[in-house]
Homo-oligomer: A and B are copies of this chain.
Amino acid sequence: MDIRVAIFEDNKLVRDALQAILNGTQGYDCTGAFADGNQWEQSIQRSKPDVVLMDIEMPGLSGIEVTRHICETFPEIRILIQTAFNDSDKIFQALSAGASGYILKNDPPHKYLDAITEVYNGGAPISASVAKKLLGFFSNKNVVLVAPGNTDYQLSDREKELLRLMVEGHNYKDIADKAFISYETVRTHVKHIYKKLHVASRSEAVMKAIQQGLS
């Protein structure tokens, strides 16, 4: 079965070239090519694509906005962003909007086809330079990675409140004063918190709280 691809690209030369490449290659079928995203809904409904090749720089609705709309309305459609620039701000916006991958306009045709197949199969192609930027965030320590998923530890409101005070660095006595309860009560709550978080020390609890946005 061919992969059905729709193109959103304002430059007619590029648009036609892409369409020609797709239709001239076995396994790919360009079912629509559009100069802008102003009628994105009809465009999608008519072309019924598996994968959308989206130019990020378009007149009218930007590729980012169209991406967001398509992802909300047709979540099964994979979107591959293409742009001439290596602008990491735009890239992040597009990825946040729901794009599955990203490719630069001067990548050779075979990379386009590979990338389309890859998103179609659930992958996430990113060009080397973009990947490098993404990794740059990690190695530059400008980010804190947050473990995804299970952040619901069923802490009660009071427990969250005390955990927050712990994160702020207070000792039991201070926490007791601030929460208007006794020292022993603080300790009882803390013990419960530890059990729920599956930790055995204050610093582990603080770490989990910070990283997972508890408290």
A residues bordering B, Cβ < 8 Å? 71, 92, 95-96, 98, 100-101, 118, 122-126, 128-129, 131-132, 134-148, 166-167, 169, 171, 199, 201-207, 210-211, 213
Min CB distance, A149 to chain B, in Å? Answer: 9
Which residues from chain B contact A206 at a C-beta distance below 8 Å?
203, 206-207
CB neighbours of A71 from chain B (8 A): 139
Tell me if A166 and B131 are in contact (CB < 8 A). no
The 6 lowest CB-CB distance pairs between A and B, nearest first, are: A141-B213, A123-B128, A124-B132, A142-B146, A124-B131, A203-B206
CB of A92 to closest CB in B, whole Å: 6
Q: Which residues of B contact A101 (CB under 8 A)?
A: 131, 135
Q: Which residues of B lie under 8 Å from residue A141 when comparing CB positions?
A: 96, 146, 213
Q: Closest CB-CB distance, A173 to chain B, in whole Å? A: 13
Q: What are 14 A-B contacts with C-beta separation under 8 Å? A: A95-B135, A95-B139, A118-B128, A122-B132, A123-B132, A124-B128, A126-B126, A131-B131, A137-B143, A137-B146, A141-B146, A169-B199, A169-B201, A202-B203
B210 and A207: CB pair below 8 A? yes
Q: How far is the CA of A98 from the CA of B136 in the complex (A)?
A: 9
Distance in angstroms from A190 CB to nearest chain B CB is 12
A134 vs B124: C-alpha distance in the bound complex, in angstroms?
A: 9
